[in-house]
Structure 1
Amino acid sequence: MIRYCLTLDLIDDATLIAEYEKWHLKVWPAVTHSIVSSGIKNMEIYRVSNRLFMMMEVNNSFSFENKAKADAANVKVQEWEELMWKFQQPLSFAKPGEKWVIMDKIFDLNNL
């Protein structure tokens, strides 16, 4: 299994952050289906202040390119993404149009 860690910022507004978290208590079935069908086996999102951290464990057939292509063709996923963008803001160093940014692993206790 392969693990990816990604980060993104929310707009720094307590009301918007609370609403964002509320949406994630009941993610739309079409969205969870797109996650699972893309090869993502586990996904967790954590928050501190307005910074989000997402950990994804994926199977060997997963690719970000295929996921993006499938999501672009899925009306409900696009609806969800548009709704979530109301709460999110790109990191200052994100590429144009990039939301979640893949983080580099810099330490692994198992590799000592």
Structure 2
Amino acid sequence: MKKYCLAVDLVDDPALITEYERLHKPENVRPEIRQSIFDAGVTSMEIYRTGNRMFMIMETDDSFSFDRKAAMDSSNPKVQEWEQFVWKFQQPLPWAKEGEKWVLMDQIFQI
């Protein structure tokens, strides 16, 4: 198992943040999006928010790689549709590379 932590910002608009959270409640998650996450080798995913900053923790199996997930996502029309839809809620971190959404975080402490 591997663990990855990533961050992205939401547009700082209370109504959009409320809607984004509603879309991510278990009963509202699109089954094809959930399945694409599992198919890529993600075994667990959690998202937390403070203000307009989000933090994701992903646990993955040995088959997971970011390149493989990107390739799978780019060939899945439902995932592409979802990503375009949620981008209206999200905004890149100031230091994100061009086209980068979720930014991989570096671990700096562990006990």
TM-score normalized by structure 1? 0.96
Give 4+ residue runs of structure 1 displaced > 2 Å after superposition.
Answer: none
| Alpha-carbon distance in structure 2 between the residues aligned to 1:39 and 1:61 | 6
2:87 match: 85
Q: SS of 1:8's equivalent? A: strand
2:86 matches 1:99: no
1:8-53 deviation line (CA, Å, top 9, x unaligned): 0000000000000011111111100000011000000000000000
Match of 2:2 in 1: 2
Distance in 2, Cα, partners of 1:3 & 1:70: 20
Alignment partner for residue 67 of structure 2, among 65, 80, 87? 65
Structure 1 regions of 5+ residues with no counterpart? none
For 2:29, the equivalent position in structure 1 comes to 27
Provide the residue aligned with 1:47 in structure 2. Answer: 49
How far is the alpha carbon of 1:61 from its aligned partner?
A: 1.2
CA distance in 1, matches of 2:40, 2:68: 8
Secondary structure at the aligned position of 2:43 is classed as strand
Q: Aligned-pair RMSD on alpha carbons?
A: 0.5
Q: Which amino acid letter does the alignment assign opposite residue 5 of structure 2? A: C
In structure 2, runs of 5+ residues without a counterpart are: none
> Which residue identity is paired with 1:5?
C
Residue in 2 that maps onto 1:13: 13
Tell me the number of residue pairs that the alignment of Structure 1 and Structure 2 aligns: 109
Identity of aligned residues (%): 57
Counterpart amino acid of 2:16?
L
- Provide TM-score, normalisation by structure 2: 0.97
Displacement of 1:100 in angstroms is 0.1
